[in-house]
Amino acid sequence: MPMQIGLVERYGYPAEEHYVTTEDGYNLVIHRMSGNPLSISQKKKTVVFFLGGLFCSSDIWVLVGPNKDLAFLLADEGYDVWLGNYRGNTYCRSHVKLSPQNKEFWQFSHHEIGTRDLPAMIDYILNYTNQETMHSVSISMGGTVLFILLSMKPEYNAKIKLGICFAPIAIWKEVSPAMKYLSNMTPSLKTMMPTIFSNYPAGSSVQLVDHYFQNIIAKIGLVERYGYPAEEHYVITKDHYILVIHRIPGSPLSKDRQRKGVIFLQHGLLASSDTWVLFGPGKNLAFLLADEGYDIWLGNYRGNTYCRSHIKLSPQDRNFWRFGYHEVGIRDLPAMIDYVLNYTKQKTLHYIGHSMGTTVLFTLLSTRPEYNAKIKLGICLAPVGVPKEMPAPFEFLRNLYDIPKLFKDFLDFNEINEIASLSSTTITIGRTLCTDKAITQPICVAIMFLLFGADPVQLNTTAFPHMLSHFPAGASVQLIYQYYQNFVKKKFQSYDHGHLENVIQYGQTTPIIYNLSKVTVPLAMYYTANDVLAPKVNVLETYKYLPNVILLEEISHKLFNHIDFLIAIDAKTLVYDRIIELFQKFDNN
């Protein structure tokens, strides 16, 4: 006899076991209490669907028995009680094709439970009971997956009459304190331990737990810990990616200042909005601009730490990762700009981009020139556009049997579609190998200098573990390879899919060449002579094609490198103060 059935029927309550298969092949078990000895003569009431939390199963709702557990109490009231289970727990370790011994079986998080398990169970129950709606009761992660479902598939709002959420988990403002030691538990709870731990924990995937960990280290905490207000906003692109934008709407230092305009900051490759606020007030550009009275918005693009959601696709689907910076430029960036302008009721905004943040700006304004009218001034830090020369790391690897192409073929063959994603593993490695006390820290420094340019004077090595807790934040293989294609062809163009696929994607056999003469926004370009990824010669080549550059400035510190725009010890005096001064002059004029 299945454990859950036994936990119910031992008390004389009828129990049933039902089976549901999700659209991606997981076999789920749902338990039902269709009545009780006390409500035989009662008129049958509505369906109530229960969903447990992390590491739980349906057992959690019936452990203690009648008159104590909510499931029994509601059955006593005549409700039709259904108890759900999600993939990977005690009852749901089955799949149409995969075994729990396969790594692929466990490649899911609460995203997949919310978008696949939960709707499959809801639809089954409503069809089986011939009902149109139900009540929902959830605890902890049960609330998380409910919020995911209703936000991503809003049509399910009509199927739930009332949702009861115990200890709901969604947006993390601060990390919860540690649980009390078992010795502090009440005597009655101690006597229940054998029963509880016979049915809990019920298992989960590592990825699911890691997903929660990523949410815990989210952006809001990086801002509000310093007394600055912070907001999180959600935007859905035309091709259904769900993006997260962070906002700093004010500053403790600018309460009495006249409010100024909107400034939108877009990060670079393998980064997230975190890179603008890593070191706090008085140091990071986002805080400094908020102190000046600007309304600060920090964008994120598809596939990074904050933007791993889609209306239909999962990050486990190859199609989720079929994008380059072209799609970020023509879809993500305009969706975010339009949202910010609509929300703030402004007609224009200032734009600051770093590295790929400039690439996608050039892409947007050259392909959709109507957006030039929505940007007052564009600040381009380490701009990447027209490639006259291949950056040194790529050139070195290409000369070794074209390693970038071989690596891309290897990733494609093994169906690896993303690269350098942030996870608890990468964070732990950074905090272990790159600390001041680690003998391996010089290797971390050497890798950084190899990738971005050597600048020991401006590098705070003590901050390494903190930086590596937020970077790299992930990207698609296609996005990175689009840059490599550009370097090889020495053209600023969209991703080359091959003749046939190019016709499908672009309506022509060749990639789209971005026409920078259509970029009419006033631009200020800041670059450095020691930038490995955005060499001076490439910046000057891009500058030649842009018709409205009002400032072209080389950073005075000769060793200043690509990532110093974000992390340099003296970034404020070398770059940020000059940017603030430029905004003030521009706005006054």
**H helix or E strand, kind and range, residue 7:** helix 3-9
- Return the number of other C-beta atoms located less than 10 Å from residue 309's C-beta: 23
Which residues, 6 or more positions from 394, have their beta carbon under 8 angstroms from its beta carbon? 404, 484, 487
**One domain for residues 19 and 155:** yes
Distance separating alpha carbons of residues 247 and 245, to the nearest angstrom: 7
- What's the pLDDT score for residue 210? 54
**One domain for residues 167 and 113:** yes
Place of tokens 């606020």: 277
In a domain, 102, yes or no: yes
C-alpha distances (whole Å) from 21 to each of 87, 100, 118 are 10, 16, 11
- What's the pLDDT score for residue 398? 75
- CB-based burial of residue 389 (10 Å sphere; 0-12 exposed, 13-18 middle, 19+ buried)? middle
**Contact assessment for residue 492 and residue 360, using Cβ atoms and an 8 Å cutoff:** no
**One domain for residues 10 and 78:** yes
Number of domains in the chain: 2
Structure tokens at 314: 């999962």
**One domain for residues 193 and 270:** no
Global confidence as pTM: 0.70
First to last CA, the chain: 79
Distance separating alpha carbons of residues 321 and 475, to the nearest angstrom: 8
In a domain, 299, yes or no: yes
The residue segments making up the domain with residue 90 are 3-212
Give me the sign of the Cα torsion angle 92, 97, 101, 102.
negative
Structure tokens at 298: 């920090």
- Domain termination residue (choose one: 212, 246, 273): 212
**One domain for residues 307 and 348:** yes
In a domain, 441, yes or no: no
Distance separating alpha carbons of residues 274 and 498, to the nearest angstrom: 36
Going by their DSSP bridges, the two strands 375-381 and 523-527 should be labelled as parallel
- Domain termination residue (choose one: 212, 241, 274): 212
DSSP secondary structure string for all residues of 16-28: EEEEEE-TTSEEE
Distance separating alpha carbons of residues 56 and 165, to the nearest angstrom: 15
**One domain for residues 306 and 417:** yes
- What's the pLDDT score for residue 189? 43
Could you list the beta-strand ranges (E) of 59-113.
Answer: 80-83, 94-95
Phi, psi for 513 (deg, rounded to 5): -90, 125
In a domain, 430, yes or no: no
Which residues, 6 or more positions from 187, have their beta carbon under 8 angstroms from its beta carbon? none
Strand partners, 26: 95
Distance separating alpha carbons of residues 236 and 336, to the nearest angstrom: 9
Distance of alpha carbon 557 from the chain centroid: 34
Nearest to 85 by CA among 109, 63, 108, 58: 58
**One domain for residues 99 and 158:** yes
**One domain for residues 488 and 345:** yes
In a domain, 133, yes or no: yes
Distance separating alpha carbons of residues 428 and 433, to the nearest angstrom: 8
**One domain for residues 113 and 257:** no
SS3 378: strand
Distance of alpha carbon 522 from the chain centroid: 31
Distance separating alpha carbons of residues 101 and 94, to the nearest angstrom: 11
- Return the number of other C-beta atoms located less than 10 Å from residue 142's C-beta: 31
**One domain for residues 205 and 234:** no
SS3 213: helix
Phi, psi for 18 (deg, rounded to 5): -120, 155
**One domain for residues 163 and 302:** no
The domain spanning residue 31 has which CATH number?
3.40.50.1820
Structure tokens at 173: 């403002």
* Most distant pair of Cα atoms in the chain: their distance: 86
Distance separating alpha carbons of residues 140 and 144, to the nearest angstrom: 7
pLDDT tens digits in sequence order for the chain, 589 residues long? 444 556 788 888 888 889 999 999 999 989 998 877 776 556 668 999 999 988 888 988 988 889 999 999 999 999 999 999 999 888 888 888 887 777 788 888 888 999 999 999 999 999 999 999 999 999 999 999 999 999 889 899 999 999 999 998 887 665 444 433 433 444 444 444 444 444 445 555 555 555 554 554 444 578 888 999 999 899 999 999 999 999 999 999 877 667 789 999 999 999 999 999 999 999 999 999 999 999 999 999 999 989 988 888 878 789 999 999 999 999 999 999 999 999 999 999 999 999 999 999 999 999 999 999 999 999 999 999 999 998 877 787 777 667 878 888 898 888 889 988 877 777 888 889 999 989 999 999 999 999 999 999 999 999 998 899 889 999 999 999 999 999 999 999 999 999 999 999 999 999 999 999 999 999 999 999 999 999 999 999 999 999 999 999 999 999 999 999 999 999 999 999 999 999 999 988 7
In a domain, 92, yes or no: yes
Distance separating alpha carbons of residues 358 and 402, to the nearest angstrom: 27
List, by residue number, the catalytic residues.
Answer: 355, 562
**Contact assessment for residue 511 and residue 496, using Cβ atoms and an 8 Å cutoff:** yes
**One domain for residues 294 and 332:** yes
Distance separating alpha carbons of residues 540 and 529, to the nearest angstrom: 11
- Domain termination residue (choose one: 212, 247, 273): 212
